[in-house]
Amino acid sequence: MRKKILAANWKMNMTVGESDAFLDTFLMEVGEEPRVDIVIIPPFTALPRVSERLSDVQNIKLGAQNMHWEKPGAYTGEISSHHLRELFVRYVVLGHSERRNYFSETDAIVNKKVAAALEATLKPIVCIGETLAERDGGRVEKVLEMQLRGSLDGLTAKDLAEIIIAYEPVWAIGTGRTATPEQAQSAHAFIRETLATLWDRATADKVRIQYGGSVKPGNTTDLMRQPDIDGALVGGASLDPRGFAEIVKHTAALSE
Ligand code: PGA
């Protein structure tokens, strides 16, 4: 059984003060929920504060939204794995479609970041997903396979055990248009099959695959019920502590 993992991707939102207020409410609503793994992914500026607040909370881990692949050095404006480790960050989102679209991140760049994250014992949340044009053109599987091969190139089966994949169809991100549970399940099953082909069945069966794209309290249960959906990467709906707490509770209830 793969334990579900829910991550709050705050993107370029939430000041330090707002992060504090979020945690006041969220921790009260959710407390120590042992049935699911929870990851809070604030902007870099709020990492120290959120890290401090979570230091005595067992089941909620800290994530970052991006990192550079190099060790500390002359890379103005960038953050390295060393900076993240110092703040007790455990997960790092890599290859989010917004990074791919607005900052020209390619699979090759994502691959370098994944390797650097693993070397620093950070767990990468590797994002993949097709655009609407690719879906309409019948190229979903081709695109997903290419992104998996490119982003995860050179990784061992042991590395795979440290990785989370997030399937995020680009047309569903921030649009209010969620993939149906069937569409998402079919993509997730394909991703798992591809991992089994590229590595092996046992390795593929252990990898957790999150769905992302307009997840909200009202559609959580149907999505999380699918056999190959192992959690969610939540953007917009994760900014509301009560809404994200509901997503956690709906998901936890499925493990009863
Ligand atoms: P959304 O974003 O939930 O706002 O669609 C998801 C994501 O981009 O991770």
Q: What is the pLDDT of residues 6-52, one digit of tens each?
A: 999 999 999 999 999 999 999 999 988 999 999 999 999 999 999 99
Q: Give the residue whose CA is nearest to atom 7 of ligand 1.
A: 235
Q: What pLDDT is attached to residue 67?
A: 98
pTM over 0.85: yes
Measured in Å, residue 192 CA sits from the centre of ligand 1 at 22
254 alpha carbon – ligand 1 mean position (Å): 22
Domain boundaries, the chain: 5-253
Nearest CA to ligand 1 atom 1: 235
Mutating to test ligand 1, I would choose from 233, 239, 244 the residue with most ligand atoms within 8 A of its C-beta, which is: 233
Cβ burial 37-63 (10 Å sphere, 16+ → b, else e): bbbbbbbeebbebbbebbeebeebbbb
Ligand 1 midpoint to CA 74 (Å): 32
For residue 177, name the pLDDT band (cuts at 50, 70, 90).
Answer: confident
Planar angle of CA 8, 12, 15, nearest 5 degrees: 85
Q: Which residues line ligand 1 (CB under 6 A)?
A: 9, 168, 173-174, 212-215, 233-237
Q: Is the dihedral of CA 182, 184, 185, 190 positive or negative?
A: positive
In the chain, the percentage of residues whose pLDDT exceeds 90 is 95
Count of other CB atoms within 10 angstroms of residue 16? 15
> 157-192 burial, b for 16+ CB within 10 Å, e for fewer?
eebbeebbbbbbbbbbbeeeebbebeebbbbbebbb
The residues annotated as belonging to the active site are: 96, 168
Instruction: Measure 153 CA to ligand 1 centroid, in angstroms.
Output: 25
Q: Residue 256 above 80 pLDDT?
A: no
Average pLDDT, the chain: 97
5-253 homologous superfamily: Aldolase class I (3.20.20.70)
Nearest CA owner, ligand 1 atom 3: 235
pLDDT digits (tens, 9 = 90+) for 94-144: 999 999 999 999 999 999 999 999 999 999 999 999 999 999 999 999 999
